[in-house]
Amino acid sequence: MLAFYFDEPSHTFGEYLLVPGYSSDKCIPANVSLRTPLVKYKKGEEPKLSMNIPMTSAIMQSVSNDSMAIALAREGGVSFIYGSQSIEDEAAMVARVKNFKSGFVSSDSNIKPSTTLEEILALKEKTGHSTMAVTDDGEATGKLLGIVTSRDYRITRMAMDTPASEFMTPFEKLVYADADTTLSEANDLIWEHKLNMLPLVDNNQRLRYMVFRKDYTDNKENELELIDSKKRYIVGAGINTRDYAERVPALLKAGADVLCIDSSEGFSEWQRITLKYIHEHFGEDVKVGAGNVVDKDGFRFLAEAGADFIKVGIGGGSICITRETKGIGRGQATALIDVCKARDEYFQETGVYIPVCSDGGIVHDYHMTLALAMGADFMMLGRYFSRFDESPTDKIKINGNYYKEYWGEGSNRARNWMRYDLGGAKKLSFEEGVDSYVPYAGSLKDNVGVTLNKIRSTMCNCGALTIPELQQKARLTLVSSTSIVEGGSHDVILRDKFTRSNV
């Protein structure tokens, strides 16, 4: 018996374009809603969890920590804290997101009185933050002794070994408030005393939070922020098919709103066993995504196993070399179209709608709109988010340009053997991911805002004001290699090719 051959070659997002449709006078970006379901629901019911934008951050060490989760929830999406760390550390990250109070910032640039100016400048370069808390032990919750800002020192007139104690603004000269101060009261104090930052301390003078003037405007602008019934940010967490019996209860106790099995290939009995155990021991209200799959058979398997959303994509990530090393996978566009068709058929048969997450293959912003048009309910993005200030990796300077580190979960650096585990030994026998750099892009808020504006604008070109309407009205065409060239600038000499001296 011969192997099965698919009739058509698999395609990537870069091989498709959207064909414009009729746009009414109501089709303006301001009227577009990007709200989308995160977990499955029955026909006629509302999903337990939805997002205000169709974006989640990948379950990766170099992408999704608590800082990323807070920043993305502010914009209306969800981060999945990476699971390739100890249970205690992952649960602690989840807890920090759930305990974070909007506008109240835990200090992440902390120094001791003995910290030198040279060390302060190095810390500023690393974090990008010029305001630093001086505590007795150099910890975020230590006894507050003073504050150092860029106004407290002059590099040209001070020795690099000068300790912070000699130029910091001491606690006695600070305007501060009690730890129980409300955000409204804190902002009133900031404006009354013309402060850039107000520290909040407890009865023992230990630092609890910082409230910044600049955050007042930000808080007013986060209209799409994703919060639970207690006004805490929504956060997800990654799990594996090995230690779920211990990891899941710890994550739920910490407050995780949704879980996702982090695996390179989801058409596996290991995932069925994991889903069954979680739902039997912790109830159906615990929502768990699964994947990854690339065809209708994989989707149907995970749907019947109890997945609350299903991820699509194998080998399409920018740091993934699974296709190169193992020869398995499928073009992301073709995989997504196939799975979404199966999703719709399953919905017709059962009345249960299981959201589909497109994971991988996104190179340009417009690829996200294509993914949504092809049926995805939301995307999971790694490289995209790794470029921002909020990702957990270091910002480094190479040849005059700034970059962020970015590595795959299948790389030796991540050592996430559980993601690629097929029941074997606890090691990576070969790599399925690379270690790399990506161009630094600034803040998440600014970049996500631009991307979402592009998506909304393109949806209007298609005559759609919602994601379901886009999926109904979208018309897509395959493009030739020649038309791809035609789509960019061509047959001209770009001005930036010349310096002014050449003109």
Residues labelled as active-site residues: 320, 419
d(CA 12, CA 16): 8
The structure tokens listed for 81 are: 């804290």
Cα 191 to the chain's mean position, in Å? Answer: 33
Question: Which residue is associated with the tokens 């009354």?
Answer: 192
Distance, in Å, from the CA atom of 108 to the CA atom of 430, rounded to the nearest integer, reads 36
- What are 184's strand-pairing partners? none
Where is 244: in which H helix or E strand?
A: helix 244-254
CB 68 within 8 A of CB 392: yes
Quick one: three-class SS letters along 58-104?
CCCCCCCCHHHHHHHHHHCCEEEECCCCCHHHHHHHHHHHHHCECCE
Which of 467-474's residues contact partners 24+ apart within 8 Å by CB, and which partners? Answer: 467/33, 467/34, 467/35, 467/36, 467/54, 467/372, 467/377, 470/369, 470/372, 470/373, 471/372, 471/373, 471/374, 471/375, 473/21, 474/18, 474/21, 474/373, 474/374
- The partner residues of 406 in beta bridges, in order of sequence, read 436
Residues 271/273/278/279 CA torsion (nearest 10 deg)? 100
Length reported for the chain? 503
Strands (E), 360-434: 378-381, 395-398, 401-407
Alpha helices of 285-381 — where are they, by DSSP H?
296-305, 322-326, 332-350, 365-373
